[in-house]
Amino acid sequence: MQTSFSPAQLADPHIAESEKIVRKCVHCGFCTATCPTYVTLGNELDSPRGRIYLIKDMLEAGRAADKETVTHIDRCLSCLACMTTCPSGVHYMHLVDHARAHIEQTYRRPLLDRLVRAALAAILPHPSRFRAALRLAKLGRPFAGLFRSVPALKPVAAMLDLAPASVPAGSRIALPAVHRPQTATRGRVALLTGCAQSVLDPGINEATVRLLTRLGVEVVVPEGEGCCGALVHHMGREADSLAAARNNVDAWTRVLQTGGLDAILITASGCGTTIKDYGFMLRLDEAYAAKAARVSALAKDVTEYLATLDLPAPAMHTGQAVAYHSACSMQHGQKIARQPRELLQRAGFRLVEPREGHLCCGSAGTYNILQPDISARLRERKVKNLAATGAELIATGNIGCMTQIGSRAGMPILHTVELLDWAYGGPKPAALG
Ligand code: SF4
Ligand code: SF4
């Protein structure tokens, strides 16, 4: 795509990066076929190609974001299916991240939108606040219908709908600790315990630590680590997301310097995609660029790391039919397809693949709260495809998808690592009764 940025504009490294990305697009439109919002809404401006044009126009003109551009960028899930499809290697993720930061800096949203976004940014990344908010949501649930009838308050209704009926008790697994291996040591990793996941389902990290320590891996939950910053990053809150990234880079660098690390493990693929991008996000920060690149190079999804270990024979084969739901951040963001499937099969599960596996379930960070209508359409489509597999349960690697799909799936949905822990001698997951 031709561009006409001025030399002065190109002196800004953010503009220079986006210009390089835009120029790679040859407008072929292949990406439209796999874009969930284009497939759902049928509007070119809700396709990757349409959004690239809108972003290019906005940045080239050097103007503040307008309502139309914001509408179509807000509807993007950042699912990155377009990056998997694009034959020209267009790095849409960095382009839309830049556009979101530009929108946040130059566009004044309506008051209620601003309040909802500020509340999400202030609550979700902090486990104690999030836990308190979920408990409060129980009291507000009877009013969800009322909120749904006012368009500007639909996000509040969506939050109430998504809140679980009961909030699990806090788990010690989120506390800083060194979990020693139960057999001869064959590795040492840091584990991101995360923010929302540690509140919604602490059993995922408990299963991870049990499985890894049984396999001879020392697991460090470092002092000072926190939210990866993905939630605020996707809302364009650049300063907040960079602060979260720096905080984690510091926490993991301290562990690296005192005993080394084979990997930094992440059990939520949405977080993994962002942490693998820390090196890019902090590239202009001289004090952090090298450390962040090191952290990104060490970041691995838990299934990526498990696949490098020589696993023993499983303790039991259930032979259960498992539909594997590959989160967008897993398959498109991190290009991890083979490892979780192979691990589940080797552990004795019978894998079945849903149709349209490339399409997002509509979770996408805070998307299911901020864009509840499109999100609900994508969820119904996903749930239908999963049910059609005839599976007994669903496995996935991202807490956002588990929350989104779980409420409607009609069958248990578990994290891949919970099933692996069970197969290799751990307890039966509570969700399986
Ligand atoms: S990230 Fe997903 S929703 Fe956004 S343009 Fe790409 S395919 Fe479409
Ligand atoms: S597939 Fe790639 S090159 Fe083709 S229109 Fe989409 S982003 Fe541009």
Q: 281 with 206: CB under 8 angstroms?
A: no
Average pLDDT score, the chain? 96
* Per-residue pLDDT at 200: 95
CA of 86 relative to ligand 2 center, distance in Å: 5
pLDDT per residue over 25-56, tens digit each? Answer: 999 999 999 999 999 999 999 999 999 999 99
Q: What is the pTM of this model?
A: 0.96
pLDDT digits (tens, 9 = 90+) for 159-173: 898 888 888 988 999
Nearest to 134 by CA among 83, 76, 187, 198: 198
Nearest CA to ligand 1 atom 8: 35
Atom of ligand 1 nearest to the CA of 48: 5
Instruction: Judge whether 3 and 29 are in contact, CB under 8 Å.
Output: no
Ligand closest in space to the Cα of 41: 1
Using CA positions, which residue lies closest to atom 7 of ligand 1? 35
* Predicted confidence (pLDDT) at residue 142 exceeds the cutoff of 90: no
Share of the chain above pLDDT 70, in %: 100
Helix 238-257 × helix 289-298 angle, to 10°? 70
Residue 139: predicted pLDDT: 85
For residue 403, the CA-to-ligand 1 centroid distance in Å is: 21
Average pLDDT value for residue range 392-402? 97
H or E element, residue 178: strand 177-179
Q: Does the pLDDT value for residue 147 go beyond 90? A: no
Task: Assess whether pLDDT exceeds 90 at residue 413.
Answer: yes
DSSP letter string over 18-55?
A: HHHHHHH-----GGGGG-HHHHHH--GGGSHHHHHHHH
Average confidence (pLDDT) over 203-227:
97
At 82-97, the pLDDT tens digits run: 999 999 999 999 999 9
The minimum-distance atom of ligand 1 relative to the CA of 78 is 1
Nearest CA to ligand 1 atom 5: 48
| pLDDT tier at 143, thresholds 50, 70, 90 | confident
The torsion angles phi and psi of 276, rounded to 5 degrees, stand at -65, -15
Residue 194 token pair: 């995360």
Instruction: Check if 29 has its Cβ closer than 6 Å to any atom of ligand 2.
Output: yes
Q: Indicate which residue's Cα is closest to atom 6 of ligand 2.
A: 31
